[in-house]
Amino acid sequence: MKQVVIKETPIGPLTVTAHLGRITSVEFGEKPVADTAGSPDPEADKVLTKAVAELEAYFRGELREFTVPVALDGPPFHVKVWKHLTQIPYGQVETYGQIAGVLGSQGGARAVGNACATNPVPVIIPCHRVLATGGLGGYGGGLPAKTWLLRREGYIK
């Protein structure tokens, strides 16, 4: 496992973690970077470099779709939700209820919200594109970050 901190982003610092060529997490804030001396993982180094480049390009408005590989490890329903989130186009949104309906979980808006809340790779897996019926809903990075991301994508003017 390897980590890198991106200190300067429009939504605050991000700590990105990779293992064996896949991004395993993006965390809001500057987390202590684990000491990985003596544990070579060149695939993680490569994917971290790509993830940082893609995130920086996204924040500059130059990237609309991430290509960096991610590891999705969680309960099966959560994984289904996270995969669905990657299909929501840049600049568009869906509600928790709409996603629940698409995934065959009528009345499962809360379950979709729980999956979004535990998304291990926010921004790259765009849970910020999911809204509550009556407003923005929540966001692990805070509502100012969600608002900034939706504004960057042109959904909020």
How many other CB atoms are found less than 10 A from the CB of residue 155?
16
Please name the CATH architecture into which domain 76-152 falls. Answer: Orthogonal Bundle (1.10)
* Residue 111 near residue 97, CB atoms below 8 Å: no
| pTM of structure | 0.93
> Hey, is 14 helix, strand or coil?
strand
d(CA 60, CA 52): 12
Residue appearing with tokens 């329903």:
77
* Residue 126 near residue 152, CB atoms below 8 Å: no
What's the pLDDT at 27? 97
Q: Give the tokens for residue 71.
A: 């590891």
* Residue 129 near residue 87, CB atoms below 8 Å: no
Query: Which stretch of DSSP H or E encloses residue 22?
Result: strand 22-28
What's the pLDDT at 157? 86
What's the pLDDT at 5? 95
What's the pLDDT at 56? 98
What's the pLDDT at 40? 75
d(CA 24, CA 73): 8
Q: Which positions are catalytic?
A: 127
What's the pLDDT at 37? 57
Residues of the chain with pLDDT under 70: 34-39
> Hey, is 2 helix, strand or coil?
strand
